[in-house]
Amino acid sequence: MKNVWIICRRELNSYFSSPIAWLLLTMFALVFGYYFWTFISAFLEVSMELQMTGSTQPMNINEEIIRPLIGNTGFLEIFFVPLISMRLFAEEKRNGTIELLATSPVRDLEIIVGKWLAALMLYCWLLLFTGLNFAFLFRYGHPDVKTMAVAYLGVVLQVGALLAIGTFISTLTKNQIIAGGCTFAACLLLWLFSWVGAFSTNSWAQVLSYISVVPHSESFARGVIETKDTLYYLSVIFLGLFFTARSMESLRWRS
């Protein structure tokens, strides 16, 4: 456990001492800020119209703003996860530093979990800044904190799953661009699989849409922790890290 933390800390330091973390934060804050602004303006327009027509039905911030917003951060993951995960192992392989890690008294699994955890923590740090936007909602409305927390938990789980896949892909190549590109393709596919379910209902479509990450995030966005969806994410994380461990083992046998 101590070793995991040693690896994780170095990895985080390296994100923050290079421009990566700050660049990601800028892009993330910009895109998320734009989302937030459009949702808020739409919400205000609708509420104004409702007032004009004299409707007394209150509007729900949770349903109208928080849920779609957090759903949309899910879409951002497709772009941000590859940018974060692509360097994890590819860079070490290119620089030869993998030889230092692999010949230190540390287990492979500790290296892998440490790196994956660092990537996840970096993403959580990005998410922290979305909280700034939500702070305004708390100032002018009454959002449900519990719902929001569960929605965030869903995002973190989903990111963890995608990062585990990215970590695995990063062990396969020395080239960060290739690792990033393949991870992007994998994330995009996992996203697009959910569309299949909309067009057809045969068993293949059902399997594919189950594999997709999208349907599993819906329960969290509603503020419900579903065992089956939690289990889905945890198994993807487990599988991703498991394959990473196998890949690292084969790295030892082959290189």
Partner 1 sequence: MITVTDLTKRYARNTAVDRISFSVAKGQIVGFLGPNGAGKTTTMRMLTCFFPPSAGTASVAGFDVLEQPLEVRRHIGYLPEAPPLYLEMETIDYLRFVGRLKGLAGAELEKRVAYVLDRCAIGDVKNKLLGKLSKGYRQRVGLAQAIIHNPDVLILDEPTSGLDPRQINEARELIRSFAGDHTIILSTHILPEVEQTCEQVLIINKGKLVATDSVHNLQARARGAESVLVEIGARTGDFHPQLVQQRLQQSAGVSRVLIKEQFDRGAVFEIETGKGQFVRGDLARSIVNAGWDLNELRTAAVSLEEIFLQLTGTPAAPPPEPIASEPEPPEAQA
> What is the binding site for partner 1 (CB under 8 A)?
3, 6-7, 10, 13-14, 17-18, 95-107, 252-255
Residue 137 CB, shortest distance to partner 1, in Å, is 38
Q: For residues 94 and 222, which CB has a smaller minimum distance to partner 1 in the complex?
A: 94
Q: How far apart are CB 90 and partner 1 at their closest, in Å?
A: 14
106/211 with CB nearer partner 1 = 106
Q: How far is the CB of 251 from partner 1 (least distance, A)?
A: 8
In whole angstroms, the minimum distance from the beta carbon of 9 to partner 1 comes to 8
Cα torsion 193, 196, 197, 201: sign: negative
Is residue 130 within 8 Å of residue 73, measured between CB atoms? yes
Tokens of 120: 């996840």
Distance of alpha carbon 135 from alpha carbon 165, whole angstroms: 32
Please measure the distance between the N-terminal and C-terminal CA atoms of the chain and give it in whole angstroms: 28
CB atoms within 10 A of CB 50: 14
Question: Residues 118, 7: contact at Cβ < 8 Å?
Answer: yes
Q: How far is CA 117 from CA 134, 156, 211, in A?
A: 25, 11, 23
Nearer to partner 1, 56 or 255 (CB): 255
Our CB check for partner 1 shows the closer of 50 and 121 to be: 121
Quote the strand ranges of 106-223, DSSP E: none
Beta carbon of residue 4, minimum distance to partner 1 (angstroms, whole number): 12
Pick between residue 228 and residue 252 the one whose CB is nearest to partner 1. 252
Least Cβ distance, residue 2 to partner 1 (angstroms) = 8
Residues 8 and 58: their CA atoms lie apart, in Å, by 46
Residue 200 or 250: the one with the smaller Cβ distance to partner 1 is: 250
CA dist 60 and 95 (Å) reads 52
